[in-house]
């Protein structure tokens, strides 16, 4: 049997499993409006998605994933109930600018849960259904929870503008650390360059005012900076908690112990850690072997921008250079963003049948 046929049969089997697990089958269009995706990801999406144009709808993209169109359909009420489970199977398209070895189109089979009632149960359900789809393939499992980092940032004893700046760069690790260090350091918070700033006079010798960004916006930003510089820097204790959080990389049970060690320095982490612990026991009850699962607070931080809670990835043990065979996570904020005010907690995951076949093929050849 040729490889393409094997992939299709595998995809079919998984879609049937997802549909039997309560997923209503949906089929989003291949062509998606670019504005939604650009608004969500910014200019970076152009490096990852194929852009084309439609004479009536303007710029369009070949769908780079299913989650965004499914959330969009769900939040605009096309699909009906507030609580829902969806299953789907189809191709996604990813531009590969640098790595031509990686596939630029491949099948994804996915499962998504929109449910307000019991988020821990939904997390566990998605994880276990995806795990079941992968059968007895030898896998390494990685998990994370960026919600813990968000809680930590939101509880820093500092100005809301600094918290906002940090949250905005949560998904850009380098910049995040750079601003965190800036906010911790008295010298770099200094606004010496604006010494003697007076709203009108300071522009006197400057060039002509051009463009949409106005003088008043500049004055406002300088005044905000001057105001902010009067506040004390973020304490080194708090900086260390954030650094320790980012450095946790362990099996789940050990990670839980390390997280709890940070509670005395940052009690506000309590509820986030409690949620993590509850999720672990729910997974344990579902017969998941926690001692074999990796946990990193910021796992998937650079590649999965819309995730804001529990995240996971399954990797082939046979073929360690393959991209993850399955990935998923919680994206509550995405539903709020796309729902324009309406929101519902949601979690989902996707499997790549082509990588299952590749991973098995490796096994067969061994």
Which of 209-217, 241-249, 290-298, 339-347 is the region at the interface with other proteins (rule: CB under 8 A)?
209-217
116 binds other proteins (CB under 8 A): no
Identify which of residues 127 and 183 has a Cβ nearer to other proteins in the complex: 183
Q: Are 40 and 68 in contact (CB under 8 A)?
A: yes
For the segment 174-203, give every residue that binds other proteins (CB under 8 A): 174-176, 178-179, 182, 193-194, 202-203
Helices (H), the chain: 3-20, 34-41, 67-75, 119-133, 146-154, 160-168, 173-184, 215-229, 236-247, 252-261, 270-285, 332-339, 353-365
Contacting other proteins (CB under 8 A), which of 98, 117, 230, 340?
A: 98
360 binds other proteins (CB under 8 A): no
221 binds other proteins (CB under 8 A): yes
Which of 16-24, 108-116, 211-219, 274-282 is the region at the interface with other proteins (rule: CB under 8 A)?
211-219
Shortest distance, CB of residue 345 to other proteins, whole angstroms? 25
168 binds other proteins (CB under 8 A): yes
Identify which of residues 220 and 317 has a Cβ nearer to other proteins in the complex: 220
Identify which of residues 38 and 288 has a Cβ nearer to other proteins in the complex: 38
Contacting other proteins (CB under 8 A), which of 82, 209, 265, 317?
A: 209
Shortest distance, CB of residue 147 to other proteins, whole angstroms? 20
251 binds other proteins (CB under 8 A): no
DSSP 75-89: HTTTT--SSEEEEEE
Burial of 78 (0-12, 13-18, 19+ CB in 10 A): exposed
DSSP 182-196: HHH-TGGG--GGGTT
From residue 1, alpha-carbon distances to 47, 108, 318, 357 in Å are 35, 21, 22, 12
Give the contact letters, 43-72, x = binds to other proteins (CB under 8 A), - = no: xx-xx-------------------------
218 binds other proteins (CB under 8 A): yes
Q: What is the DSSP letter of 300?
A: T
Residues 6+ apart with CB under 8 A from 151: 268, 269, 271, 272
For the segment 22-41, give every residue that binds other proteins (CB under 8 A): 38
Shortest distance, CB of residue 199 to other proteins, whole angstroms? 11
225 binds other proteins (CB under 8 A): yes
Shortest distance, CB of residue 341 to other proteins, whole angstroms? 16
Residues 6+ apart with CB under 8 A from 82: 114, 116, 344
Q: Are 228 and 183 in contact (CB under 8 A)?
A: no
Identify which of residues 95 and 251 has a Cβ nearer to other proteins in the complex: 95
Contacting other proteins (CB under 8 A), which of 2, 100, 264, 271?
A: 100
Residues 6+ apart with CB under 8 A from 166: 153, 156, 176, 179, 180, 183
204 binds other proteins (CB under 8 A): no
Tokens at 40, concatenated? 């969500």
CA nearest neighbour of 292 among 269, 308, 275, 315: 315
Contacting other proteins (CB under 8 A), which of 16, 140, 172, 360?
A: 172
Shortest distance, CB of residue 320 to other proteins, whole angstroms? 24
Angle 296-299-302 (CA atoms, 0-180°, nearest 5)? 150
102 binds other proteins (CB under 8 A): no
Which of 54-62, 97-105, 108-116, 283-291 is the region at the interface with other proteins (rule: CB under 8 A)?
97-105
| Full strand arrangement of the beta sheet holding 31-33 | 31-33, 58-62, 51-54
Which of 4-12, 52-60, 92-100, 102-110 is the region at the interface with other proteins (rule: CB under 8 A)?
92-100
Q: Are 112 and 72 in contact (CB under 8 A)?
A: no
Return residues touching other proteins (CB under 8 A). Answer: 38, 42-44, 46-47, 97-98, 100, 165, 168-169, 172, 174-176, 178-179, 182, 193-194, 202-203, 206-213, 215, 217-218, 220-222, 225
């Amino acid at each position: 049997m040729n490889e393409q046929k094997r992939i299709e049969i595998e995809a079919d089997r998984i879609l049937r499993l997802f549909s039997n697990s309560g997923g209503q089958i949906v089929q989003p269009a291949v062509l998606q409006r670019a504005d939604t995706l650009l608004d969500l990801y910014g200019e970076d999406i152009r490096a990852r998605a194929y852009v084309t144009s439609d004479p009536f709808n303007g710029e369009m993209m070949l769908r780079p994933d299913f989650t965004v169109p499914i959330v969009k359909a769900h939040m605009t009420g096309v699909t009906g109930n507030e609580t829902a489970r969806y299953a789907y199977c189809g191709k996604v398209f990813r531009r590969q600018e640098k790595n031509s070895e990686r596939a630029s189109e491949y099948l994804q089979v996915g499962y998504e849960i929109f449910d307000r009632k019991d988020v821990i149960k939904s997390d566990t359900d998605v994880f276990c259904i995806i795990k079941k789809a992968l059968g007895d393939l030898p896998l390494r499992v990685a998990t994370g929870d960026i919600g813990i980092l968000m809680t930590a940032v939101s509880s820093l004893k500092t100005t809301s503008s600094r918290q906002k700046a940090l949250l905005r760069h949560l998904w850009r690790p380098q910049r995040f650390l750079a601003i965190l260090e800036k906010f911790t350091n008295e010298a770099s918070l200094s606004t010496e360059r604006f010494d003697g700033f007076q709203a009108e006079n300071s522009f006197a010798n400057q060039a002509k005012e051009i463009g949409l960004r106005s003088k008043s916006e500049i004055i406002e930003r300088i005044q905000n900076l001057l105001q902010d510089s009067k506040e004390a820097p973020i304490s080194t204790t708090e900086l260390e908690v954030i650094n320790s959080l980012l450095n946790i990389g362990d099996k789940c049970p050990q990670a839980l112990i390390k997280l709890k060690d940070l509670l005395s320095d940052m009690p506000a982490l309590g509820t986030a850690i409690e949620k993590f612990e509850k999720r672990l026991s729910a997974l344990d009850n579902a017969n998941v072997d926690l001692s074999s699962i990796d946990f990193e607070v910021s796992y998937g931080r650079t590649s999965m921008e819309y995730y804001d809670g529990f995240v996971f990835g399954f990797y082939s043990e046979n073929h360690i250079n393959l991209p993850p065979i399955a990935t998923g996570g919680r994206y509550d904020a995405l539903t709020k963003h796309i729902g324009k005010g309406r929101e519902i907690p949601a979690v989902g995951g996707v499997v790549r049948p082509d990588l299952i076949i590749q991973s098995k093929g490796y096994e067969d050849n061994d």
